[in-house]
Structure 1
């Protein structure tokens, strides 16, 4: 049944699958050893290092037990250690020992070693140390697994000297393909409940194949259609951009079931649906996405707390998994919420049940000044026989092994409410829109 769909959560950047058919929970990542942690197929270790008596740079290696097959994103920072004080670049250094560094490490498929450099204010004295910490980056939902190492003074040069950061670039987008589908969704009757207009011509469908709700994810929105739920405005044309939009809305009085009652979430029976969600799928319109195909969505999002926009692919063959997620954005009200982070992932049927791999990616590392909410961005995925590669505005940023098969697939675009995005802080900010400048499919 389509109850978990893309709503299986990912723990960390490599991923431990959490099916959300039952209560929403979070699992800690299992520890591997001191200075290391493991999840998915990888063990990640940070290595203690030393600096010589005259050295003003420390080099700290972060290593995987084997070259990764999928994108892994880690966050790192330096902390005060034994008898040391760190300062930010540009601050007074009178009593400081080192300059604080914070940032991200991205391991792309085939990579195994990254080296982080720490600048010292003065050579480390005997008995002093600097703490270097890494953590899995799963912002804003996760990031619990951490490991650390120490930088200490020594009589010999840094033990990191033999290590060099490897660099395996992701493949560029192929060229010379043929556009097999393209749509701006501007037709007046572009979508409906059945996925067919008068005369049997296919169109976008306004629901999942399994229905109009995903109670297993504790979602707060009902996937509405304006002809079935006349109190909603699920979509429209934006007069400023001329683009189609779909939107999630707040309804103070709840959504009517058409029989004098209210539609109620199956997991919270005492409360009616006070939010409508929006989804359109190409299940009946175009469902021939397969290997050596590139799928691209050109969209702009709205930053509304509690909303959960997504771009994804599902197989034509009934059943779940597999699934391909180009973009999931959990817009939470947490103070540490980062506006440039998205999740990209895959889901497949493993030996022990549904499995997943994914990465939380700060897009500002891929394209300077990227903005999900004030401009349109193109999110794409190339489905290769061995690998899936994800693109932002034509630039590759993430890759996963193809464990989902050949498809064929169809497209989905949605704005959900609740679930891992959390409770909206009231009606403020709604409607939460996704503006769609177009979608296209290219076959190579």
Structure 2
């Protein structure tokens, strides 16, 4: 949930009509022309040109990483048909180009080479070209982007190329024969409190981050409210139609009272009162023994409200920054947010301070028709000694190297407002709700 930055290189390939058979320049030569090596274990991406004959119906575009990846990387491509081949590269002209194909490439750990196959709407004629633009899928907010547009017009020659291919390394399935060490449906009336303890002294979920009720570092617009402390806010409840727990972020037109005759406001914007609540529960006092060999799973459903930021994540039990495992984040910036997109990541301390690896993965890659808004889904992660693997409805979809150690960890579930996703565009769309059917931890080994 912490806003950070990392770079992922992008590039653009041109598909051009030349006489002769289909050929492509190598995307995995020793020093590919489109690769700029990034620093501190970053992986650069190369996409190279392809040439097609006048009768070809598809173009095959080699894409390669500068080294086999140690983490999931999701890339999107868009193939565009340029109306004018005389070299108008202006932004206005780019907007008039026609997208003829789009899709994504998923590089799993160990993979280095993939091929984009672009169907041609018609055989390319001399003077016509296609451009295939490659970028990080779904614009993971922490990234910085560069983009090159290369373009080649008609010419002669028959270049040589190696056969493009797709690497395939399967992510590990869920382990078998584990022991459930924690399970909760969150339906108890005293399931959460400010202190993390019930009135009788037993531990429960805590209704805020460990450091307080604001996330000023992210410039969030929601105050992490508790209905006992903030009577203007509902924050959570039981859905009468399903009997299941929900937490929610809300719009409070008149702002939240500080109980002293004034309004609560963000530390970074002290003259502007909080007009949104955020909702969080964490298991810091209830269960904080997640470690190597643990599988953590949440059965949840989200609502699509622009300006909301639901997440499921883990923090170290000593709250040492920036150590964090984000099982998923949904950066809902607009109503057009795709129903199958989530971002999974890790945060750790590297040689140059706070570091993060993350990937925004289209879940239809593992389950056709995936939808995080219309139904409940099970999201989980297995913490291995060397690798952290993320699962969607028991299917692995993403993996990161374990650069954080064994833990121990505790769970956080929240719906934030603002920050990375910006200010909500329609306050009347709130509340932004997360429904929770169950939470469990299984220990293996």
Q: Deviations over 1:215-237 (max 9, x none)?
A: 11111111111111122112111
Alpha-carbon RMSD across the aligned residues, in angstroms, is 2.6
Q: How many residues end up aligned between the 2 structures?
A: 409
Q: Tell me the distance in 2 between the aligned counterparts of 1:259 and 1:122.
A: 71
Unaligned stretches of 5+ residues in structure 2 = 11-30, 87-97
CA-to-aligned-CA distance 1:325-344 (integer Å, 9 cap, x gap): 0111111127x532322111
- Tell me the distance in 2 between the aligned counterparts of 1:122 and 1:52: 12
Match of 1:435 in 2: 435
Q: Which moved more, 1:133-142 or 1:193-202?
A: 133-142
Alpha-carbon distance change, 254 to 443 in structure 1, aligned in 2, over 3 angstroms = same
Provide the rounded CA distance (Å) in 1 between the counterparts of 2:232 and 2:130: 60
Give the drift of 1:33: 8.3
**For residues 78 and 37 of structure 1, do their structure 2 counterparts lie closer, same or farther at Cα, with a shift above 3 Å needed?**
farther
The aligned runs of 1:5-404 (5 Å cut-off) are 6-11=1-6, 35-36=34-35, 41-52=42-53, 55-81=56-82, 100-120=100-120, 124-126=124-126, 128-139=128-139, 141=141, 144-148=145-149, 155-156=157-158, 159=161, 161-333=162-334, 336-404=336-404
> Cα offset for 1:121?
5.3
**Rounded Cα–Cα distance in structure 2 between residues aligned with 1:124 and 1:247:** 53
Kept in 2: contact 1:206–1:281 (CA 8 A): yes
- CA distance in structure 1 between the partners assigned to 2:286 and 2:3 by the alignment: 26
Structure 1 residue matching 2:262: 3-state secondary structure? coil
Is this contact kept in 2: 1:68–1:112, CA < 8 A? yes
Structure 1 unaligned blocks of 5 or more: 1-5, 16-31, 86-97
- For residues 8 and 341 of structure 2, the distance between their equivalents in structure 1, rounded to whole angstroms, comes to 12
Q: Return the offset for 1:50.
A: 2.3
> Aligned pair in 2 of structure 1 residues 154, 404: CA closer, same or farther (>3 Å)?
farther
Q: How far 1:84 moved relative to its partner? A: 6.6
Question: Secondary structure of the residue that 2:364 maps to in structure 1?
Answer: helix
In structure 2, distance between residues paired with 1:135 and 1:377: 28
Instruction: Tell me if structure 2 keeps the 8 A contact 1:311–1:328.
Output: yes
Distance 1:33 1:430 in 2: 49
TM-score (norm 2): 0.85
